[in-house]
Amino acid sequence: MSQARGQNNEAWIELSAIVGPEHLRPATPADAVDAVQPSGVIAPGSAQEVAQVLRYCNSAGLAIIPRGGGSQLGLGNRPRKADFVLSLERLNRVIEHAWGDMTVTVEAGCTIDRLQCVLREHGQQLGADPMQPERATVGGVLATAESGTMRIRYGALRDLVLGLEMALPDGSVIKAGGKVVKNVAGYDLTKLAIGSLGTLGVITRAVFRLHPIRAAIGTYAATLPTVSAAAKLVLAILDSPLVYTGLQIHARRADQVLVHVRFEGIPESLQDQFVKLGRIAGAHEFAECGGEVWTERQKLFVNAASSVICKCSVLPSQIGSLCDALFRQAEPAEVAVTLLAQGTGLTEVRLDAAGLQPLMIALRALRGEVDRLEGTLTVAQCPIAMKGDLDVWGTVKDALPLMHRIKQKFDPGQTLNPGRFVGGI
């Protein structure tokens, strides 16, 4: 469809009428998702407008790609169709920081940085550190379930969300959960929405429970000679009563492996925890280092257009064998590996090589190893040329028919992100 024709057709007229012509613009190549080019970008100004846009597109058979900051647009399979990008950029307000209740109500298009900045005024924080916080939005991190390194102490985003407001393809705006920290009234639709990649509805607002920012934060690093020694140390820390708020392995080489630990609390307890950490680590010496090591995950995605980046989930006790296998297979294949394994078992791996063929071989080997461990692997980023032959999600087991039934109930017209999620959803 040419742009000139596109802008005069019925869809443009209808959609302009909903959001106002100044909030509907032609899409550029930068708006493409996995090289699928949408015709326009629409930016509604309220949840009701989002719902009206969805209802119209649903009835007209048009496909919608919801977008926050666009920092995770590479996630998912190539969409079957993309007519309009629905940008949440105008829904960017922090509605209410009820600091006495330790909760916040915020619109989906607000960036994580801005939210944290508002919360900091009262010494509080959202206990999550997703990648690219200056770009990533509340709605985007929820749709992609991108929690970060604090998850090991504060829980995943699913555990921090108290309520959501969502616009559905039938034009309704629904509320799930509530504003209070304990609430079991009705089904927990928030869980269904979080991590659903916008395939059931568009999140327009969220309520989070918050945590206090502690007086002191310290990050400590040790260098270990093998991945298995590092993995063993991580297991020992997990089995201790240490109150860490971050725990990760970072390695580019099999013989030089970093273990990072973060403590938060009052200054006296930081020192106490550091001494106890030393006892657990034995011969491996920890030293204080800068907190920027917790952004290493996000650095994986820098200049990554020709790289493969995978998010793997294995058990903590399997981190050693996963990392071992990675380096063992990578060397002969001439693939460079960077890995970041969180103590939770969630591991990000970046593979770099000259050409697609060795990357594909390394990815297959990695997937084979993860399958052997009964874990999961999602390709979060890969060269566009690879996407055609690859299901980035891998195989969902016996629950897939139920997932299709749920999709059918919420988005029968397949208006939202068609084909990008698991099993063709």
Partner 1 sequence: MNARLVNEFRSIVGDAGLVSGAEQLRTYECDGLTLFRVVPELVLLPASTQEIQAIVKVCHRERIPIVARGSGTGLSGGALPVKGGVVIGVSRMNRILEVDVSNARVVVEPGVTNSAITAAVSPHGYFYAPDPSSQVVCTVAGNVAENSGGAHCFKYGVTTTYVLGLEVVLSDGSLLSLGGKGLDQLGYDLVGAFVGSEGTFGIITKITLRVIKKPETTQTLMAAFNSSSEAGAAVSGVIASGMFPAAMEIMDRLALEAAEAAVHPNYPNCQALLLVELDGSACEVELLMEKVGPICQSCGAWELRLAKSEAERMAVWKGRKAAFAAVGRISPNYLVQDGVIPRTALPRILGEIDRLSSEAGLRVANVFHAGDGNLHPLVLYDRRIAGQEEGAMKLAEDILRLCVEAGGSITGEHGIGEEKKQFMPVMFSEADLDAMQRLRSAFDPYDLCNPTKMFPGTDAKVQRPVAYEPHPIEIAGLAQRY
Subset of residues 207 to 236 that bind partner 1, contact rule: CB under 8 A: 211-215, 235
* Residue 1 vs 181, nearer CB to partner 1: 181
| Shortest Å, Cβ 376 to partner 1 | 5
CA 36/CA 29 separation, integer angstroms: 9
Tell me which of 22, 30, 121, 241 binds partner 1, using CB under 8 A: 241
Strand-strand pairing, 40-42 and 84-87: parallel
| Shortest Å, Cβ 354 to partner 1 | 31
Tell me which of 239, 285, 288, 334 binds partner 1, using CB under 8 A: 239
| Shortest Å, Cβ 138 to partner 1 | 18
Strand-strand pairing, 308-313 and 376-381: antiparallel
> Scanning residues 343 to 362, which ones bind partner 1 (CB under 8 A)?
344-346
Tell me which of 26, 45, 155, 413 binds partner 1, using CB under 8 A: 155
DSSP readout, 339-378? Answer: EEEETTSEEEEEEE-SSHHHHHHHHHHHHHHHHHTT-EEE
> Scanning residues 401 to 420, which ones bind partner 1 (CB under 8 A)?
402-403, 405-406, 408-410
CA 415/CA 51 separation, integer angstroms: 12
> Scanning residues 68 to 107, which ones bind partner 1 (CB under 8 A)?
98, 100-103
| Shortest Å, Cβ 287 to partner 1 | 21
Report the phi/psi class of residue 156: left, alpha or beta, with left for phi > 0 and alpha for psi in -120 to 50: beta
CA 281/CA 224 separation, integer angstroms: 10
| Residue 336 in contact with partner 1, rule: CB under 8 A | no
| Residue 400 in contact with partner 1, rule: CB under 8 A | yes
> Scanning residues 307 to 326, which ones bind partner 1 (CB under 8 A)?
311, 313-317
Give me the 253-292 binding string for partner 1, x by CB under 8 A, dash otherwise. Answer: ------------xx-xx--xx-------------------
Q: How many residues bind partner 1 (CB under 8 A)?
A: 86
Say if residue 400 is exposed, middle or buried (CB neighbours under 10 Å; 0-12, 13-18, 19+). middle
* Residue 185 vs 302, nearer CB to partner 1: 185
* Residue 306 vs 378, nearer CB to partner 1: 378
Cα 266 to its chain centre, rounded Å, is: 30
The torsion angles phi and psi of 364, rounded to 5 degrees, stand at: -65, -40
* Residue 87 vs 147, nearer CB to partner 1: 147
| Helices (runs of H) and strands (runs of E) counted in the chain | 15, 19
| Residue 334 in contact with partner 1, rule: CB under 8 A | no
Q: How many Cα atoms sit within 13 Å of 32 on the Cβ side?
A: 9
Q: Is the dihedral of CA 223, 225, 231, 236 positive or negative?
A: negative
CA distances from 58 to 177, 194, 403 (A): 26, 22, 20
CA distances from 93 to 106, 149, 205 (A): 6, 25, 9
* Residue 40 vs 74, nearer CB to partner 1: 74
CA 131/CA 147 separation, integer angstroms: 8
| Residue 45 in contact with partner 1, rule: CB under 8 A | no
| Residue 371 in contact with partner 1, rule: CB under 8 A | no
CA 120/CA 132 separation, integer angstroms: 18
Tell me which of 47, 75, 128, 194 binds partner 1, using CB under 8 A: 194
**Could you tell me which stretch among 2-10, 66-74, 285-293, 375-383 binds partner 1 (CB under 8 A)?**
375-383
Tell me which of 128, 168, 222, 308 binds partner 1, using CB under 8 A: 168
**Could you tell me which stretch among 58-66, 107-115, 128-136, 171-179 binds partner 1 (CB under 8 A)?**
171-179
| Residue 164 in contact with partner 1, rule: CB under 8 A | no
User: DSSP 3-state helix, strand, coil percentages of the chain (rounded to 5)?
Assistant: 35, 25, 40
C-beta of residue 259 within 8 angstroms of C-beta of residue 221: yes
**Could you tell me which stretch among 29-37, 221-229, 371-379, 380-388 binds partner 1 (CB under 8 A)?**
371-379
C-beta of residue 115 within 8 angstroms of C-beta of residue 104: yes
* Residue 154 vs 301, nearer CB to partner 1: 154
**Could you tell me which stretch among 22-30, 52-60, 112-120, 238-246 binds partner 1 (CB under 8 A)?**
238-246
Tell me which of 6, 92, 135, 188 binds partner 1, using CB under 8 A: 188
